[in-house]
Amino acid sequence: MFDLSEAKALEQEVIQIRRTIHMQPELSYQEFETAKLVAGKLRTLGISVRTKVGGTGVVGLLKGAKRGKVVALRADMDALPVTENVDVPFKSRRDGVMHACGHDTHVAMLLGAAMLLSKHRDDLYGQVKFLFQPAEEVGGKGGAKPMIDGGVMKEPKVDYVFGLHISGTEPSNVFALRPGPIMAAPDTFKIRIIGKGGHGSSPHLAVDPVFVSAQVITALQGVTSRMIDQREPFVISVCNIHAGTKDNIIPDEALLEGTIRTFNEKTRVSAKKYVSSVAKSLSRAFKAKAVVDFKENEYPVTVNDPAATKKVMRILRRIRGTRTVVCKPIMGAEDFSRFLQKAPGAFYFLGTINPKKGCTNTNHSSQFKVDEDVLKYGTLSLAKLAYEFGKPNGVG
Ligand SMILES: [Zn+2]
Ligand SMILES: [Zn+2]
């Protein structure tokens, strides 16, 4: 079922859809035109459509003729505040906005899969849900949660969920994934160090928050090297520091901001606790006070279900012209993680590095350029996953 020739027959249409969306990129929660295009296309395929789900989200439901499981496929739709620096005829028509993460390709590939699947409705098991999600790029307030709150994983209840991301770090025609944790949980922190201002010549009469900040920044690296199990991937970076106005004034306060990245909930909880206690106790030792805040509702770790991932790999390996590799965990984060908390499934990447076509920059770069020849493989992979996982026996 679903061979490459069928995906190739749709290739030009999928590329055209991608270019249309690429020219009209829309920022998070403003994906109005994109959602309209998606809903229109799904309707022409005879797929039932719900719009304005969790903001600008669109959900399609395709019922197969045979009994089986419910498989959800997700594509995110938002673009980034980046000015495109790639010379292509379908360059972004909107100043300062660009599909620099390739979400335009996700929408196009998922619509391609919807075309393939609807054509084969009579052979299809179960039901396929198409989740077109707003706002993946906004951190804690991403579109997956409002969509889940809007009921997309229920009625009918989703048995498996899959998400595909185009990748500027893997070569063209390569699928990359891994069982278990694949993307990190990002936790953003703010540390306010409150001292007491004074003259630079008399630090003993002041409480110097600049000095204390330096101690805290250094000591935080000890959380990585001395407090967290070395077998657990963990990163802590202080990326922003603000204090003071002049060379001889000790300021009242200093502000540090940074991020931590973890791959399991236990490490995540202890890392946050240690960051907080190190900053507070060290500040106290030097007569200052630290107020530590973590941003709430950050994305959880993206965890691929091991059994489902094994089956996904088998399915992907059968796609002619592609290669499937096991990738290392990625320190970036994804709110696809929230769907995986509701149903087993997998998040996987499709590479797009192709130096011959000038496709060498990573996602989020103003020079990110997609090798469009890979889109047919993405389309085919999504359709195949929906078909295979829809079978009544599920993971086999
Ligand atoms: Zn991104
Ligand atoms: Zn992305």
State the distance from the centre of ligand 1 to the C-alpha of 369, rounded, in angstroms.
14
Three-state DSSP class for residue 98: strand
pLDDT at 317 exceeding the cut of 80: yes
Q: Strands 345-353 and 160-171: what pairing? A: parallel
Helix residue ranges, H only, 121-264: 144-149, 209-222
To the query of whether residue 377 is one of the catalytic residues in this protein, the response is no
Provide the β-strand partners of residue 62.
128
pLDDT in tens, 233-255: 899 999 999 999 999 999 999 99
Give the closest residue to 70 by CA, choosing from 392, 315, 366, 359: 392
pLDDT in tens, 10-59: 999 999 999 999 999 999 999 999 999 999 999 999 999 999 999 999 99
State the distance from the centre of ligand 2 to the C-alpha of 136, rounded, in angstroms.
7
CA distance 304 to 265: 15
State the distance from the centre of ligand 2 to the C-alpha of 365, rounded, in angstroms.
12
Query: Do residues 313 and 134 touch, judged by C-beta distance below 8 A?
Result: no
CA distance 207 to 226: 28
> For the residues 336-344, what does the mean pLDDT come to?
98
Tokens describing residue 335: 């709110």
To the query of whether residue 299 is one of the catalytic residues in this protein, the response is yes
CA distance 304 to 346: 5
> For the residues 146-152, what does the mean pLDDT come to?
97
Question: Cα–Cα–Cα angle for 195, 197, 203, nearest 5°?
Answer: 90
pLDDT in tens, 79-88: 999 999 999 9
Residue 140: pLDDT band by 50, 70, 90 thresholds?
confident
Ligand nearest to the CA of 106: 2
